Structure 1
Amino acid sequence: MTKQEFVNAIAEESGLSKADTEKAITATTEAIKNALAKGESVQLIGFGTFSVSERAARTGRNPQTGKEIQIAAKKVAKFKPGKALDEKVN
């Protein structure tokens, strides 16, 4: 599903205009991104939790040359589905 298809689906379900729906979706994603950038988690009951995890530095291997390379530590975004979402999918 593309963002535009997502906007259309939510606009139809909520009765909002497509423009208002797109603004709401953009504001929601920006709020989630800003919270994650601060290291906070975002918990949406019934849907899931967005959080930040740290990956340690490690040694990897270049698949083309076989040469060992160092992979730097970094932070990654994680999503853990909530119980209601898990049940809906299964």
Structure 2
Amino acid sequence: MTKTHTRADLCDTVYENVGLSRQECGELIESVLEKIAQHLEEGEQVKLSSFGTFQIREKNERIGRNPKTGEQVAITPRRVLTFRASHVLKDRVDDGHKGGHKGSHKNGGQAE
């Protein structure tokens, strides 16, 4: 069964590895996530090297269909959040699936 990782899990990891107090770790995590959210709200792209890119896509109004009734329905324009994983992250995920070692990279650990 897979585990859902939370902000508290991130905070614990920072606490164990950096040496800040738990409160400082929580504030750090909240600050980073808030800054990412602010940039996305403003329509800016957020790139985390060797991890991936978050960006906003504008979707135009279109006609959809209710699958139960077949009735056509207008779908309003909206903004959607997308994430594109870096090649480094994709390789790590693929290596993990193949039973590879944690942290091994096909491209020598270089960022995309």
- Tell me if both proteins adopt one fold, taking TM over 0.5 as the criterion: yes
TM-score (norm 1): 0.85
Aligned sequence identity (%): 33
Selected match of 1:14 from 5, 11, 18: 18
Aligned to 1:71: 75
Q: How much is the aligned-residue C-alpha RMSD, in angstroms?
A: 1.5
The count of residues paired between Structure 1 and Structure 2 equals: 90
User: Which residue among 50, 55, 60 is the counterpart of 1:56?
Assistant: 60
Aligned positions of 1:22-33 closer than 5 A? 22-33=26-37
Q: Which is greater in Rg?
A: 2
Q: Are 1:4 and 2:8 counterparts?
A: yes
Displacement after TM superposition at 1:6 (Å): 2.4
Residue pair 2:10, 2:29 contacting (<8 A) in 1 also = no
Unaligned runs of 5+ in 2: 95-112
- What's the TM-score, normalizing by structure 2? 0.70
Shift of 1:37: 1.3
